[in-house]
Amino acid sequence: MRPLLFLLLATLALTYAGCKKKTTTTSYMSTGTIMGQEPFMTPCDAKYWIIIHDSTAGRTFDTLPAGCGINPNFPVFSDSIHVRLNWHNTGSCLKVVVDAIERAD
């Protein structure tokens, strides 16, 4: 009887431990401001303009990560979105690739 009780309690404890919701926290390397649609008609034809604070990186990007909840489709200078982001340079045309992003305000 005791081994059965022990086995039942161990199973319940492991089941409960496996059901806890896992949370992930992303650490962001930069802050920036999405300024809107790219107004400069560059040869590389980027879609959006971003200012990455404290960086001399590229200033444009084409897409944001799926599910981030940020819509950059607004005319330049009509609005702006302050963000925290992880990114890397593409090495051409002043473009960056946004790896992770969230609103900062």
Instruction: Note whether residue 19 is domain-resident.
Output: no
Instruction: Note whether residue 6 is domain-resident.
Output: no
Instruction: Note whether residue 3 is domain-resident.
Output: no
Straight-line distance from the first to the last Cα atom of the chain, in angstroms, rounded to the nearest whole number: 59
| Per-residue pLDDT tens over the stretch 2-37 | 666 555 565 555 555 444 444 566 799 999 999 888
Domain, as residue range, for 50: 30-103
How many Å apart are CA 1 and CA 55, to the nearest integer? 67
Instruction: Note whether residue 24 is domain-resident.
Output: no
Instruction: Note whether residue 2 is domain-resident.
Output: no
Instruction: Note whether residue 10 is domain-resident.
Output: no
| Per-residue pLDDT tens over the stretch 36-94 | 888 776 667 778 888 999 887 668 888 899 999 998 888 777 788 999 999 998 877 77
Tell me what pLDDT residue 60 has. Answer: 86
Structure-block tokens of residue 92: 């051409």
Cα atoms in the Cβ-side hemisphere of radius 13 Å centred on 80: 12
Amino acid at 6: F
Tell me what pLDDT residue 21 has. Answer: 45
Instruction: Note whether residue 20 is domain-resident.
Output: no
Instruction: Note whether residue 93 is domain-resident.
Output: yes
Structure-block tokens of residue 57: 């990186």
Bridge partner list, 81 = 34
